[in-house]
């Protein structure tokens, strides 16, 4: 895998587009400028890797478009050293962005082949602060809880209770909520043990968050 000057130039252009689309956080934009997104998608799509669009990654799943990744990351207000749980590893690109921002990332995928492939990629790219797991994200990952931040990268039919309970006080959960074609981006802040604040943001379209695992 090679990251050429051409790829780097295309990433600069992508970052300009994301800025124009309203992404303001410079550390998030810098991470996107740094990470070769073409490493996370099939080589057939390599030439278009820096277009603002999703791509198929197998098993009917997609890598989210860069605007969506930037938007969710911005809402998470990532701090260096944060412990973050991601539901929906997919290609691994979102996890790579979080790790590049200095977070320790636990990420869960319910499709075994995607989990295995992306785990290998993290190793090949030396992302040592990302720990991938095969499992059902509705359950979260209790053994490393509580988390500073949790992000769901698939459309959740409801706000998963287990995930709320795995947040630290002042922790943030970001998820696309809804069962239809279009979901609302939601940010939940855990104010206290039993007190949560909910804010609603723009509309997005994600693949569905599904229960159970697949071989
Ligand atoms: N963050 C990914 C987005 C992949 S699409 C990326 O950057 O590429 C969403 C992923 O969520 C899919 O791979 C899908 O299989 C996974 N998913 C859906 N429901 C899930 C669940 N309950 N637990 C874990 N992963 C889930």
Structure confidence by residue, pLDDT tens digits, 1-24: 899 999 999 999 999 999 999 999
Question: What are 138-193's pLDDT values in tens digits?
Answer: 999 999 999 999 999 999 999 999 999 999 999 999 999 999 999 999 999 999 99
pTM of the model: 0.98
Task: Tell how far the Cα of 143 is from the centroid of ligand 1, in angstroms.
Answer: 20
Residue 196 contacts by C-beta under 8 Å, 6 or more apart in sequence? 164, 188, 189, 190
CA of 61 to the centre of ligand 1 (A): 7
Other C-beta atoms closer than 10 Å to the C-beta of 199 total: 12
CA-nearest residue, atom 4 of ligand 1? 90
* Domain assignment of residue 168, yes or no: yes
Query: How confident is the model over 62-115, as pLDDT tens digits?
Result: 999 999 999 999 999 999 999 999 999 999 999 999 999 999 999 999 999 999
Joined tokens for residue 15: 């970052």
Q: At what angle do helices 5-20 and 66-76 cross, to 10 degrees?
A: 60
Report if residue 27 sits inside a domain. Answer: no
The answer to whether residue 10 sits within a structural domain is no
- DSSP-derived letter for residue 38 is G
Domain count for the chain:
1
Which residue range is the domain that position 193 belongs to? 59-204
What CATH number is given to the structural domain containing 139? 3.40.50.150
Q: Whose CA is nearest to atom 26 of ligand 1?
A: 88
Residue 99 in any domain: the answer is: yes
Give me the catalytic one of 64, 73, 91, 107.
64
Nearest CA to ligand 1 atom 18: 209
């Amino acid at each position: 895998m090679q990251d050429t000057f051409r790829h780097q130039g295309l990433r600069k252009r992508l970052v300009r587009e994301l800025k124009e689309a309203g992404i303001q956080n410079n550390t998030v934009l810098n991470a996107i400028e740094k990470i070769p997104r073409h490493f996370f998608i099939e080589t057939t799509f390599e030439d278009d890797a820096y277009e603002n669009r999703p791509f198929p990654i197998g098993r009917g799943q997609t890598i989210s478009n860069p605007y969506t990744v930037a938007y969710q990351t911005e809402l998470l207000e990532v701090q260096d050293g944060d412990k973050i749980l991601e539901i929906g590893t997919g290609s691994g690109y979102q996890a790579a962005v979080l790790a590049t921002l200095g977070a320790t990332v636990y990420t869960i995928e319910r499709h075994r082949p995607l989990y295995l492939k992306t785990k290998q990629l993290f190793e090949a790219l030396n992302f040592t602060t990302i720990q991938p797991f095969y499992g059902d994200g509705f359950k979260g990952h209790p053994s490393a809880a509580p988390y500073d931040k949790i992000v769901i990268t698939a459309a959740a039919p409801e706000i998963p209770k287990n995930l709320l309970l795995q947040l630290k006080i002042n922790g943030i959960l970001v998820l696309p909520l809804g069962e239809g074609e279009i979901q609302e981006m939601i940010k939940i802040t855990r104010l206290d043990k039993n007190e949560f604040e909910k804010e609603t943001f723009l509309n997005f379209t994600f693949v569905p968050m599904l229960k159970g695992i697949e071989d």
